[in-house]
Structure 1
Amino acid sequence: MTGPVTLGREIELPSGHAVLEDRGALRDLAASLAEGVSGHVSRLERSLGCKIIVQWLEPALQEALDGSSRPVSILQPPRRLPVPEAVGLWSGCAEIGADQALWCGDTVPWNAVEEGPFGTLVLGPAATGASGGPRDHALVDGLGRWFDRGRHGVLAVDGRDGAQAVARRILALGREAGLSGEQLLERTGVAFDGAGAGSTREMIAGIRHARDIRAGFAEVGEE
């Protein structure tokens, strides 16, 4: 579900400016979003007979905080979204009565995310180094603080490398963030990043791959 910050950046007012530029309009948008999602979650839970987890997508969060969105006019640069305002928008959405997680792309603005109401943070392969790329030390420090607060994480994988190789990289990340292998199992999940999946078969294979990685935590941890 697109989060209020990113949605506010994408929707335009009649003036041509993004809703993000108008504090009042942004608050109204966030309130309407929370109301709509709350009703949708209630209907789904009644129909499916299970609890729903809402994942908020905020890929534009860093740009909004930096004020680096493309302006309508060079005479009026985009405003910087203050962290307390972003947290306030999320707080309203967090009252929808469902478990929730936050994803904000490969760059995690820890100053905002840590102050937010969400208990679970979703990180993609590029962010965690699960794809084999270099690891961001700011990410390790941020995750350490995140887990110290008793929060949880979901680590997305892309299925390009073997399960044990990815499990080793994720375990190494957990250790750097201050988690033992057992704590990593308790506090994190592994999910398939289906952005590149071209078919249902590929999606199913990716989900199985994520399951194998999580199962590999115990085996790799004993090496």
Structure 2
Amino acid sequence: MSLATGVGSMPGTTDAEHAEAVRLVLGELPDLPFVPELPGRGVGADMTGRALAVVEGISADLQPAGWRLTDTSGVDHRRARSLLAQDLDTVEELAQGYAGAFKAQVAGPWTLAATVEKPRGDKVLSDHGARRDLAQALAEGLRTHVADLRRRLPGVDRLVVQVDEPALAAVVAGRVPTASGFGRHRRVDLPEASAHLEWVAAALTEAGAEAWVHSCAPQTPWSLLAGTGATGLSADLAMLGPADLDTFAEALEQGRTAALGVVASTDPGSAVSDARVVERVQRWLDMLGLDAEEVGDALVLTPTCGLAGASGSWARESLQVLRRSADGLSGR
């Protein structure tokens, strides 16, 4: 039985819209709902701020240039933590009695290292020790986060935490700009890139959650991600090159999850047919020599990326299309 879920972000700028987003995913994605994120609410609701709300033992604050590590948490860091707790309160309230699988999301260690600055400026990415400490703080924080989610959602028997790494491709290729904008940070060697993700995946696994890794960026090193201990790989299907097909095929053959972005994350401007989505996914499976019935719920359909830039009507419709497409693949 193929499943449908969202990547994470949703449109909206208010707490009331967040509550409505929770109701939407619970109603439209009954097999794998997720904790909606509304970055449109501003400071603390963005991907980086939300991940910094999870890290343990590290403080931060928002500066004109962006998030920066500090000796003590600033007001924006405290607000990010408060907002995360508030959002989880909403999920807990509206998901009372829910049983089954559930998904949450967090920015990964390399995306954090590429977007957060050291206390004296420039990215954490520029300092080997700082990026190691941030990755380990994220791993420890996720242990606590998973325990909190388990407490709030006692009926959940399958908890997925999706680790978002949109910056990873730029990190390993040496394309992340320095603070001045005139240079680029040195590329990170693949063994180190893998090790930091392995810490995060191991922490999630030990805490009782499935670790998926997601990126909708081109040239993401999927073979590296497949070796980090992640049990799921999540990508925009259009961004997968020929070399990535074997990686995703092997993941499915091993019983791991392949989450495919197959529905636009912004308003497409014309009607989207779930029959066309089903046909596209079936062609992809045929190319890999796999069958939808055989892979079952290891195959998950998602939007191509987060829905934060979509209209409210398309956000709803896209999830409906995904659910119908998953049903079509499963013969329901």
The interval holding the TM-score normalised by the smaller chain is: 0.7 to 0.9
Q: What's the offset of the Cα at 1:198? A: 2.0
Q: Deviations over 1:31-69 (max 9, x none)?
A: 111122221221121112124311110001011001111
- 1:154-193 → structure 2 map (5 Å cutoff): 154-158=259-263, 160=268, 161-193=272-304
**Structure having the larger proportion of residues in strand:** 2
Q: What's the offset of the Cα at 1:180? A: 1.8
Look up the SS of the partner of 2:117 in the other structure.
coil
Q: Deviations over 1:3-33 (max 9, x none)?
A: 0001001011134221112111111101111
Given candidates 217, 226, 232, the residue that maps to 1:106 is: 217
Identity of aligned residues (%): 28
Aligned length: 212
Q: What corresponds to 1:204 in structure 2? A: 316
**Distance in 2 between the 1:215 and 1:24 partners?**
47
**Distance in 1 between the 2:124 and 2:192 partners?**
14
**Distance in 2 between the 1:181 and 1:146 partners?**
14
- 1:74-93 → structure 2 map (5 Å cutoff): 77-93=184-200
Q: What one-letter code is carried by the residue in structure 2 that aligns with 1:174?
A: L
Q: What corresponds to 2:52 in structure 1? A: none
1:171/1:184 contact within 8 Å kept: no
Q: What corresponds to 1:7 in structure 2? A: 112
Q: Deviations over 1:47-101 (max 9, x none)?
A: 1212431111000101100111112468974121111111111121121321121
| Unmatched runs of 5 consecutive residues or more in structure 1 | 129-135
Q: What one-letter code is carried by the residue in structure 1 that aligns with 2:142?
A: V
**Distance in 1 between the 2:327 and 2:189 partners?**
41
Look up the SS of the partner of 1:52 in the other structure.
strand
Aligned-residue Cα RMSD (Å) equals 2.4
Q: What corresponds to 1:29 in structure 2? A: 134
**Distance in 2 between the 1:33 and 1:103 partners?**
16
2:260/2:302 contact within 8 Å kept: yes
Note closer, same or farther for the CA distance 1:117–1:184 as it changes in structure 2 (3 Å cut).
Answer: same
Is 1:151 the equivalent of 2:262?
A: no
Q: Deviations over 1:174-220 (max 9, x none)?
A: 12123123224342111345524322x5433322211111122255x
**Distance in 1 between the 2:191 and 2:234 partners?**
21
Q: Deviations over 1:88-123 (max 9, x none)?
A: 111211213211211122323134212211010112
2:215/2:236 contact within 8 Å kept: no
Look up the SS of the partner of 2:211 in the other structure.
strand
Is 1:116 the equivalent of 2:228?
A: yes
Give TM-score scaled by structure 2 length: 0.58
1:34/1:92 contact within 8 Å kept: yes
Note closer, same or farther for the CA distance 1:20–1:146 as it changes in structure 2 (3 Å cut).
Answer: same
Q: What one-letter code is carried by the residue in structure 2 that aligns with 1:197?
A: A
Give TM-score scaled by structure 1 length: 0.84
**Distance in 2 between the 1:38 and 1:197 partners?**
32
| Unmatched runs of 5 consecutive residues or more in structure 2 | 1-105
**Distance in 1 between the 2:236 and 2:223 partners?**
19
Is 1:19 the equivalent of 2:124?
A: yes
**Distance in 1 between the 2:287 and 2:194 partners?**
28
2:292/2:329 contact within 8 Å kept: yes
Look up the SS of the partner of 1:207 in the other structure.
helix
Note closer, same or farther for the CA distance 1:44–1:186 as it changes in structure 2 (3 Å cut).
Answer: closer
2:252/2:295 contact within 8 Å kept: no
**Structure having the larger proportion of residues in helix:** 1
**Distance in 2 between the 1:58 and 1:67 partners?**
15
Q: What corresponds to 2:38 in structure 1? A: none
2:253/2:295 contact within 8 Å kept: no
Q: What corresponds to 2:72 in structure 1? A: none
Note closer, same or farther for the CA distance 1:75–1:15 as it changes in structure 2 (3 Å cut).
Answer: farther
Note closer, same or farther for the CA distance 1:47–1:77 as it changes in structure 2 (3 Å cut).
Answer: closer
